[in-house]
Copies of this chain bind each other. A is one copy, B any other.
Amino acid sequence: MPKLIDHGERREEIASAAWRVILRDGVGAASVRSVAAEAGLSPGSLRHVFASQSQLLAFAMKLVIDRADARVEALTLRGTGLQSAEDIVVELLPIDEERVIEMEVYLALFAASGSDPMLRDARHDVFTRVRNGCRRIIYLIDHGQNPKPEAEIQGEVTALHALLDGLAAHLVWQPTEMDADQARGIIVSHLRELASRRKND
C-alpha cells in the first residue's frame, strides 16, 4: 500500500492557497502553476488532487460559503427573533479581514464564472445557499407574528439578499466609500423597519 493522503484536507489547503493568489494578484493570476507554487506543490501534484482548473476554482468558491455557514452555525442565538436575525446577517458581512478575504474571493469567482459549466454550477449552488440563509432570517423576524402570504415573504427575502450582496460588493471594491459600521447600520435598520412594519399590520 502506498502513502495515503487526506484528500479533503489537501483540497482545502490548495483552495486557501488559491484564495491568497486571488487576493494578491486577482482571479486572472490564479493559474494552476501559481496556485501550486503558493501551496508549495508541483503542478503535477496539484493535478493529482484537482483534475482541472475549473474544479479547483469551483471548490475554492464553495469553500467560502462552507466557512460562512460554519460561522453562522456556531452562533448562539440571542433572545428575540430580530436580535438573532441581526447577529446572522452581520456574520455574513465582510466586517473583518478574514471575512473581507472570503468575500473578495466570492465576488471575484462569481464574476469570473462566465460560461464555464463547472463554475456556473458552483455559482448557482452558492447563490442558493445565501438565498436560503436570507430566508431563514426573514422567518426569524416573522417568528411569533401573524403568518404572511408566501409571495410577500419571497419579496422580502429577495430584497434582503440583494441588499446584502450589494453592501458586500461595496465593502470589498470601494472600502474608502463604505465601511463596516455603515454597512452594519444599513442592514440592521433595514431589518428593524421590516420587523416594525410587520408589527403594525
Q: List chain A positions with a Cβ less than 8 A from chain B.
A: 25-28, 107-108, 110-116, 123-124, 127-128, 131, 155, 158-159, 161-167, 169-170, 173-174, 177-178, 182-183, 185-186, 189-190, 193
Q: Is the CB of B123 within 8 A of A173?
A: yes
Q: Is the CB of A162 within 8 A of B170?
A: yes
Closest to A29 in B: B114
The count of identical subunits is 2
Main secondary structure of the interface of A (DSSP, over half): helix
Closest to A120 in B: B173
Find chain B residues with CB under 8 A from A183 CB.
162
Pick the contact of A25: B115, B128, B164, B186 (CB < 8 A). B115
Find chain B residues with CB under 8 A from A108 CB.
111, 114
